[in-house]
């Protein structure tokens, strides 16, 4: 059985991995003809990297509600922590690029 702290850490990892998977799916469905490096450079050149990363965090909402529906409140809390971490990265990228 997981302790309460490890449940929050698990939720945080889920909250960080889901946007990465979503970003990769978005890349594969929209820009599969270019390399991943070119795709990231294109997003930075167009100042869209922060906007795309913000959109990739939206599936965390579904994951959050899924864990709440399953009565896994501590894991859902970790998903919120992971989403806040992604939001901080988006804010930094918004002001840098």
Radius of gyration of the chain, Cα coordinates, nearest whole angstrom: 15
pLDDT score, position 21: 97
- Given a cut of 90, whether residue 96 has pLDDT beyond it is no
Going by pLDDT thresholds of 50, 70 and 90, the confidence category of residue 32 is confident
Mean pLDDT of 4-30: 96
Q: Would you say residue 97 has pLDDT above 80?
A: no
Model confidence at 12, pLDDT cuts 50, 70, 90, reads very high
CA 54 to chain centre: 8
Reported pTM: 0.89
Say if residues 53 and 93 touch (Cβ distance below 8 Å): yes
């Amino acid at each position: 059985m997981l302790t309460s702290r490890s449940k929050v850490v698990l939720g945080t990892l889920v909250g960080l991995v889901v946007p990465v998977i979503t970003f990769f799916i978005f890349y594969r469905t929209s820009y599969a003809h270019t390399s991943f490096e070119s795709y990231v450079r294109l997003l930075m050149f167009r100042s869209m990297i922060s906007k795309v990363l913000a959109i990739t965090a939206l599936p965390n909402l579904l994951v959050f509600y899924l864990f709440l529906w399953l009565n896994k409140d501590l894991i859902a809390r970790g998903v919120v922590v992971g989403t806040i971490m992604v939001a901080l990265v988006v804010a930094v990228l918004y002001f840098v690029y």
